[in-house]
Structure 1
Amino acid sequence: MAETNLTLVTEFVLIAFTQCPEWALLPLFLLFLFIYLATLLGNLGMITLIRMDGRLQSPMYFLLSHLSLTDICYSSVTVPQMLAVLWERGAALSYSRCAAQFFLFTFFGSIDCYVLALMAYDRYVAVCRPLLYASIVTQGACLRFVAGAYLAGLFSALVRTVSAFTLSFCGNNELDFVFCDLPPLLKAACGESYTQEVVIIVFAVFVIPACMAVILVSYLFIVVAILRIPSAGGRAKTFSTCASHLTAVSLFFGTLIFMYLRDNSGRSPEEDRVVSVFYTTVIPMLNPLIYSLRNQEVKGALRRILDRVRLF
């Protein structure tokens, strides 16, 4: 029997952006650093605002505070690694550190999906069942919903991480990416990977389309309810309460579908990098802006907090 020399991978080297001219890396580093700091400031500000203002103590803003929390964690798992890649023109990660990053990224990303779906359900009950809202969306129900989102995210992350890191990696340990994500790991794998890929795809199909189905059905009923409102002013006011969430959902799920549910044939590393940068850095920064600029209650709470500060 012929002997085959295989070098098992013990670390991965992230080589994204290493082909860029050195003079171009500093502006990219500063841009991503600014976006990351803006993400931390915006989402921490949103959480603080919700905690401090008594008028925002409702199920919708309770869910929004958890969305901001997971956005902070989600971004913090990937963006510092991206900054290290830019600063050092590449970065090495041990096998276990890469697996931990992939697990945390999947965990917080899954929770984001579930929380956005819960927020759509909350809007459905508020618009379509307003008289029953207080009895359906109670504080206890919100706690159970959020706990369920975290548990489902944990289960999904465990299954996907175990599936991804039971793949065989040998020889080439370079990932043309900015963090340990699924597409570059699948490209670096060698040997038979059909079973693991099926499990990973099944869970991607379960999380993303399942959450999208809840959101689409909820908004279908919301649109029908809005069209039944006799006055144009009433329709506009009701729709404005859902516009922020609908914008955030469209951005987040649009990029996830493009990244994970499209055909692998013909896709390039450059496309994957651009999309991954968008949903790991830009969207977590935009969410607080979307919910503050398009939400009268949040803007009112911000004005009240600023008025208190001026008094001192």
Structure 2
Amino acid sequence: MEGGNQTSISEFILLGLSNQPEQERLLFFLFLIMYLITVLWNLLIILAIRTDSHLHTPMYFFLTNLSLVDICFTSSSVPKMLANYISGNKAISYVGCLTQVFFFIGFGGIDSVILASMAYDRYVAICAPLHYTMIMTQKVCASLVAVCWIWAFIHSLIHAVSLTRLSFCGHNEIPHFFCDLIIVIRMACSDTLLNDLLVYTVGGLTGVMPFIGILISYMCIFITVLKIPSTHGKKKAFNTCGSHLAVVCLFYGTVIGVYFNPTSTHTAQKDTASAVMYTIVSPMLNPFIYSLRNNDMKRALRMLFSRKLCLSL
């Protein structure tokens, strides 16, 4: 091999979650159902918000974008896994693997930054309610979302391009159901120092910095809520943040556990289990968390279903 940016293999083999045919059939139907629930329920959230004028507020604008990104995020890995189970062919091309890394990191990064934007929205609503409409204008919200998308895909492009400089010498079996950045880096037979540095620096900006922003926002919210004299007022303030906090814990708990732990602590089983949580389970549960705990969303969904029912009759 003459160039550092060349590879001796043209495809990778995604080993998936099991190599037993019986288990693979069960996993196929399980993840197909979970994927369909994720797509359909997030689409319902988007339609309900768009058709109910009462929900045309910053909080639900961010929720619409979160639902859209969740669909794209889970679609970057699950359909390929399902196709592999159907065909029995677990191969993914070298270019296909890099493409999967690009979109997976991109949509994951957007998810991260949108969650931080939603925390900022809750901070302004609770800590500066009199200035909320002046601060969280339509232009500001659109700008925040645009920055989320632009930065996340710059981040993913950096990682995808950096992978092209690595050499892969024969061993092409990935013990995962998608091309995970960390595992692909570990499979390289050339120097990966630059790639590791990018994971902990550029990756940190996209993953850890928004998380720190969320923590700071909620510290300020907690202090403000404690100053509210009435118990009802405190409960109402906390209820507006409960759904978002649940989603944050579910998403960041698994992501940080996989990508920001020492390499020596990683195992294929641990990484795969965590990946299932944040790539499949979290996007599926997010719309349920927001709809079941939110009376406005329940009303909007009822109106959407009743409207569809009337049209069908």
Instruction: Assess if the C-alpha contact under 8 Å between 2:13 and 2:92 holds in 1.
Output: yes
The answer for the alignment partner of 1:15 in structure 2 is 15
TM-score normalised to structure 2 length: 0.94
Offset at residue 209 of structure 1 (A): 1.3
What is the rounded CA distance, in whole Å, between the counterparts of 1:87 and 1:187 in structure 2? 28
1:189, 1:57 → 2: CA distance? Answer: 48
Following superposition, the deviation at residue 183 of structure 1 comes to 2.4
Following superposition, the deviation at residue 297 of structure 1 comes to: 1.2
Structure 2 distance, partners of 1:29, 1:272, is 20
Give yes or no for contact 1:259–1:272 (8 Å, CA) kept in 2: yes
SS of 1:13's equivalent in the other structure is strand
| Aligned counterparts of 1:169 and 1:176: Cα–Cα separation in 2 | 15
Paired residues of 2:7 and 2:166 also in contact (CA < 8 A)? no
- Letter of the 1:250 partner, please give it: C
Look up the match of 1:222. 221
TM-score (norm 1): 0.94
| Consecutive unaligned residues in structure 2, runs of 5 or more | 1-5
Task: Please give the secondary structure, in 2, of the residue aligned with 1:9.
Answer: coil
Query: Which amino acid is the alignment partner of residue 13 of structure 1?
Result: I
3-state SS of paired residue (1:170): coil
> 1:220: how far off?
0.5
Percent of paired sites with the same residue: 42
Equivalent residue runs for 1:37-186 within 5 Å? 37-186=36-185
SS in 1 for 2:229: coil
Equivalent runs, 1:213-292 vs 2, <5 Å = 213-292=212-291
C-alpha displacement at 1:16, in angstroms? 2.4
1:3 aligns with none
RMSD of equivalent CA atoms = 1.5
Matched AA of 1:288: P
| 1:194 corresponds to 2:193 | yes
Alpha-carbon contact 1:74-1:108 (below 8 Å) kept: yes
Q: Stretches of 4+ moved more than 2 A in 1?
A: 16-19, 84-90, 303-312
Q: 1:17, CA displacement in angstroms? A: 3.4
- Decide which moves more: 231-240 or 200-209: 200-209
Which residue number in structure 2 is paired with residue 33 of structure 1?
32
Residue identity matched to 2:148? A
3-state SS in 1 of match to 2:281: helix
Residues paired across the two proteins, number: 306
Task: Give the CA deviation at 1:129.
Answer: 0.4
Kept in 1: contact 2:102–2:157 (CA 8 A): yes
CA contact (8 A) 2:44 2:301 kept: no
The residue aligned with 2:3 is none
